[in-house]
A and B are shown apart, each in its own frame.
Chain A
Amino acid sequence: MRTSWMSRLTSALFALPYTLCFAMFLLFPIGYGLYISLHDFELLSEEHPFVGLDNYIAIFSGGTYENSVFLRGLWATAQFVLFSVPLLIAVGLGLALLVNVLPGRIRGLFRTFYFMPYAISASVMAVIWLMMFDTNAGFINSMLMKLGIDTIPWLTDTPWAWVSLIATTLWWTIGFNMIIFINALNEVPEDYYEAASIDGATVWSKFAYITLPSIRPVMLFVMITSTIASFNVYAQPYLLTRGGPGDSTKVLLMNVLDQAFIRKEIGSASAMAIIMALLIMIISVVQYRLTYGRKESGV
């Protein structure tokens, strides 16, 4: 039996390094976060007394500071999700359809063009768009002036602040969804379209009755990943509008991190983060169920 014992040990050694990293930087933080959320965890204080569910109760009780920042942040995030996700899906699919009807030789080129902004980091994206949207010297307002249109306070007035945040998000991330849709479209069997053409189907009915049903699983994937990404939005409002005007674009994650690093209330911030994570997971499951139904999904 000695060899088999040795063999199992060597097998375990292969999985060990990653499993350790997984335990230390994913599993442990989850448990530790739960622990912190049950304590009055002032960042600079030595004492962290156990307070049970108080941090959670404060978030859900009307009139507390925690309740108001959480709800205001959630409202801002919800608006961003509701505006951005439909566009992230529709524009992503639209670009994929467009790229796929281009002649083969230039297809790859245009795919690269639309995908390129995705390679840029959040801060570079933000600095570029701060300049583009600058009220006085920005490219977009300069263009409007040339056309004889009044300049627009892109980042400092609503609803323009939302328009700017959604537009930059589309520019920055849409390539990812487009690539996924291109792959999905390429996997729809060509025979379906040929058969439909023989039956005299129009372009639109082919799209509605063949393309859309065939890419439903991918549509769901894009919807869930886009919703999660939009729910986690941070860099765009943090760098472009700084949550303004007022705190109208101050999204939930900004409030959670302010609670942790400006107010130093890590316990309460952790409770907010946990509720936020649960909301994200619940929304994903609901989207899955709505697409596939309870029976079909077998969940």
Chain B
Amino acid sequence: MKGTRKLLLILLATVIAAIFLLPLVWMISTSFKNDFEALAGQMNFIPKKPTIENYMEGLSGELMNVPIVRWITNSLSVGVIGTAIVLLIDSMAAFALARLSDLPFKRTLFAMFVASLMIPGVLTFLPMYMEFNALGLINTYSALILPYTAGAFGVFLLYQFFISFPKEIEEAARIDGANKWQIYSRILLPASVSIMVTLGIFTFMGIYNDFVWPLYATTSPEMRTITAGIALMAQGSYTQAYGKLMAMTTIATLPVLIVFILGQRSFVRAITQAGVK
């Protein structure tokens, strides 16, 4: 009886998993079909005439005259640089809030950062656009990076970790004559690698996958991120060129899927931390 129930549950889980994975499998399958077959309305997962044409054209930049390699380079650079900045400034701020008792306006800063977590993004979107517009920074890499540096999530995640760090190690280092920078960079950071990786994955995926801001903050084809670029293609004259679109989405999804699968544990932990908060 117990065995049958278990088997039924596994069966149910498998059916649901198939539904979840089907669109992704179909995406990859379609990316190896020519446009004719992709539009034929068939349900074959193995292409009848498999072709890598869609990929070859896409990566060579010939595909529909769209600079997809440039878009991916943009997304990867913006994601990596943005993540590096967030890790540096968030960890420094969290260190000051958690470990430096003589930080001026500590309570005020802390309260402001907490309150900011409850502010909906819609409140800052338009003024942020106008701000970058006034600074002449629309359609630059700055516009694609800087807005992500203001989020307080990372400061909190690291604050919670730093506050529980044993005080004895820090005091011992201080007696040995270590200054604050040395305590931060040589003691705290090396002990925080895993939480930093967590925040890094979370931040990278957030920037790489962001959609609305890059769509409006970039105006020329060569400045688009891959998410904004694909959205514009899907709306433009490439609607229903499914084979080619799917090759592009597959390429676009690979980096973030690799990061996701490799760092899934960390990612789950970051979500847990956010939930507990």
Q: Tell me, rounded to whole Å, the shortest Cβ–Cβ distance linking B28 to chain A.
A: 10
> Contacts A8-B102, A117-B20 hold; do A131 and B30 have CB atoms under 8 A apart?
yes
> B89 touching A98 by the CB < 8 A rule?
no
> B180 touching A10 by the CB < 8 A rule?
yes
> Contacts A29-B131, A113-B20, A121-B227 hold; do A235 and B257 have CB atoms under 8 A apart?
no
A18 to B62, CA, bound (A): 42
- A12-48 CB contacts (< 8 Å) to partner B: 12, 14-15, 17-19, 21-22, 24-30, 32-33, 36
- Give the nearest-CB partner of B250 in chain A: A124
> A284 touching B93 by the CB < 8 A rule?
no
Give the number of residues in A that approach B within 8 Å (Cβ atoms): 90
Of the listed residues B126, B210, B234, the one surrounded by the most CB atoms of chain A closer than 10 A to its CB is: B126
Question: A261 interface residue, CB < 8 Å from B?
Answer: yes
Q: Tell me, rounded to whole Å, the shortest Cβ–Cβ distance linking B159 to chain A.
A: 11
> B93 touching A26 by the CB < 8 A rule?
no
Give the residues in chain B near A121, CB-CB below 8 Å: 208-211, 226-227, 230, 252-253, 256
Give the residues in chain A near B102, CB-CB below 8 Å: 4, 7-8, 11
A10 to B273, CA, bound (A): 30
Question: B125 interface residue, CB < 8 Å from A?
Answer: yes
Give the residues in chain B near A185, CB-CB below 8 Å: none
Question: A136 interface residue, CB < 8 Å from B?
Answer: yes
A-contacting 9-mer, from B52-60, B145-153, B165-173, B192-200: B145-153
Q: Tell me, rounded to whole Å, the shortest Cβ–Cβ distance linking A57 to chain B.
A: 19
Question: B96 interface residue, CB < 8 Å from A?
Answer: yes
Q: Tell me, rounded to whole Å, the shortest Cβ–Cβ distance linking A32 to chain B.
A: 4
Q: Tell me, rounded to whole Å, the shortest Cβ–Cβ distance linking A168 to chain B.
A: 9
A122 to B211, CA, bound (A): 6
Q: Which of B10, B40, B109, B208 contacts A106 (CB 8 A)?
A: B10
> A128 touching B24 by the CB < 8 A rule?
yes
A269 to B252, CA, bound (A): 32
Give the residues in chain B near A8, CB-CB below 8 Å: 102-104
Q: Tell me, rounded to whole Å, the shortest Cβ–Cβ distance linking B117 to chain A.
A: 11
Chain B window 9-33, contacts with chain A (Cβ cutoff 8 Å), 1 for yes, 0 for no: 1101100110011111011001000
Give the residues in chain A near B228, CB-CB below 8 Å: 123
Contact size range, B: 35 or more
Q: Tell me, rounded to whole Å, the shortest Cβ–Cβ distance linking B128 to chain A.
A: 5
- Give the nearest-CB partner of B180 in chain A: A10
Q: Tell me, rounded to whole Å, the shortest Cβ–Cβ distance linking B223 to chain A.
A: 16
Q: Which of B16, B42, B100, B125 contacts A114 (CB 8 A)?
A: B16
Q: Tell me, rounded to whole Å, the shortest Cβ–Cβ distance linking A69 to chain B.
A: 15
Give the residues in chain A near B209, CB-CB below 8 Å: 119-122
> Contacts A121-B227, A234-B212 hold; do A132 and B23 have CB atoms under 8 A apart?
yes
Give the residues in chain A near B95, CB-CB below 8 Å: 14
Chain B window 91-105, contacts with chain A (Cβ cutoff 8 Å), 1 for yes, 0 for no: 011011100101110
Question: A290 interface residue, CB < 8 Å from B?
Answer: no
A117 to B16, CA, bound (A): 13
Give the residues in chain B near A112, CB-CB below 8 Å: 261, 264
A228 to B120, CA, bound (A): 8
Q: Tell me, rounded to whole Å, the shortest Cβ–Cβ distance linking A282 to chain B.
A: 11
User: How many pairs, one residue from A and one from B, have CB atoms within 8 Å of each other in the complex?
Assistant: 264
A14 to B184, CA, bound (A): 10
> A122 touching B227 by the CB < 8 A rule?
yes
Give the interface SS of chain A, mostly helix, strand, loop or mixed.
helix
Q: Which of A116, A221, A260 contacts B24 (CB 8 A)?
A: A116
Seen from chain B, the residues whose Cβ lies within 8 Å of a Cβ on chain A are: 6, 9-10, 12-13, 16-17, 20-24, 26-27, 30, 38-43, 88-90, 92-93, 95-97, 100, 102-104, 109, 112-113, 116, 118-131, 146-147, 149-152, 155, 179-181, 184, 205, 208-212, 216, 226-228, 230-231, 234-235, 239-240, 242, 245-246, 249, 252-253, 256-257, 259-261, 264, 268, 271-272, 275
Q: What are 27 A-B contacts with C-beta separation under 8 Å?
A: A8-B102, A11-B100, A12-B103, A14-B103, A14-B184, A17-B92, A19-B109, A33-B123, A114-B16, A115-B268, A116-B20, A117-B24, A119-B253, A120-B24, A121-B227, A123-B227, A130-B239, A131-B30, A137-B38, A171-B23, A179-B268, A179-B272, A180-B275, A273-B126, A277-B119, A277-B123, A284-B118
Question: Can you name 15 extra interface pairs (CB under 8 A) apart from A7-B102, A36-B130, A115-B264?
Answer: A12-B96, A14-B92, A14-B180, A15-B97, A24-B146, A112-B261, A121-B252, A122-B231, A127-B230, A141-B41, A145-B41, A176-B271, A179-B268, A218-B275, A280-B120
Seen from chain A, the residues whose Cβ lies within 8 Å of a Cβ on chain B are: 4, 7-8, 10-12, 14-15, 17-19, 21-22, 24-30, 32-33, 36, 95, 98-99, 101-103, 106, 110, 112-117, 119-124, 126-132, 134, 136-139, 141-143, 145-146, 171, 176, 179-180, 183-184, 218, 221, 228, 231-232, 234-235, 239, 242, 253, 256-257, 260-261, 266, 269-270, 273-274, 276-277, 280-281, 284
